Amino acid sequence: MEFLKAIFGDKYEEFASIIKAYNDNPENKDKQIKLADLNAGEYVSKKDYDAMETAKTTLEEQLQTATDTLKGFEGVDVEELQGKVKQLTDDMETQKTDYENKIAEMKFGTLIDNAISAAGGKNAKAIRALLDVETLKDSKNQTEDITAAIEACKKDNEYMFGSNEPINNPIAPTGGKIPGASKNLEDMTYEEYKDYRQGK
C-alpha cells in the first residue's frame, strides 16, 4: 500500500491501521482487503488468471508428451532408422515400377495378339518375330501402328496368314475396344486392365 502515501499524506498511517485491523479480525479472514496499484500491473482478473493457469497446464502436458516421446527414441540409431526408411521407400518404388512395366507388357501383348488374330495370323510367335516390337512399344498410338505393321507383314508373308475368305478368317478385335471392356485397351488404367484380366 506504499503507493497510497502520496494520496493520504499524514493520514496514511491511520488508513493503513484501519485496513490492518480489519484484516486481522478473525471474522474477516475470508474477506481480506488487498490494495494494488493497477497502473503497475499488480492486478490480474480471475478470468485472465484462469486462462493463464489453463495455458500453463496445457504446456506442461505437451512438454511431458514430448519428453515421453523422446524417451521412446533412446538408444535408437537415427541414421540407421533413416536408412531403413529410405531403403523401404526405394523398394516400394521399384516394386511399383516393375508392376507397371508388367501390366504395360501384358496390355501390349494383348494388342499384338488381337491384331494378329484379326489378320488371320497362323502363328503369333512367328509373326511377332517379323515385327519391330520395340518401336511399336514406344508408339504413341499403338493400336493403329500395330495394325499397320501387321498388314505390311501380311503383304510380304501371305503364307503366314489365312485366306481372306470370311469363313477361313476368324474375326477378332484389332486393338482398340476389346470384348467385355468399356474402354480401348490403350486407354485403360493399370487397375482397369487388371480387373479386365480377372473378369471383373
Each residue's pLDDT, cut to its tens digit, for the chain (200 residues) gives 565 666 667 776 777 788 788 878 888 777 776 665 555 555 555 676 777 788 888 888 988 888 888 787 777 787 888 888 888 888 888 888 888 888 888 888 888 888 898 889 889 899 999 999 899 988 888 889 999 999 999 998 888 897 544 444 444 444 555 556 667 766 777 677 767 766 66
CB 103 within 8 A of CB 142: no
Q: How far apart are CA 94 and CA 123, in angstroms?
A: 35
List 106's β-bridge partners, or say none.
none
User: Tell me, what amino acid is at 107?
Assistant: K
Owner of C-alpha cell 536408412? 83
Find the angle CA(134)-CA(139)-CA(141) to the nearest 5 degrees: 145
Name all contacts of 127-134 with Cβ < 8 Å and 24+ positions apart: 127/153, 127/157, 127/160, 130/157, 130/160
Backbone angles phi, psi at 198, to 5 degrees: -90, 0
Q: What sign results for the dihedral spanned by CA atoms 30, 31, 36, 38?
A: positive
Name residues whose C-beta falls within 8 Å of residue 125's C-beta, 6 or more positions apart in sequence: none
As given in the structure block, the three cell numbers for residue 62 are 505437451
Q: How far apart are CA 194 and CA 77, in angstroms?
A: 41
Q: What sign results for the dihedral spanned by CA atoms 107, 110, 115, 116?
A: positive
CB 146 within 8 A of CB 111: yes
CB 123 within 8 A of CB 187: no
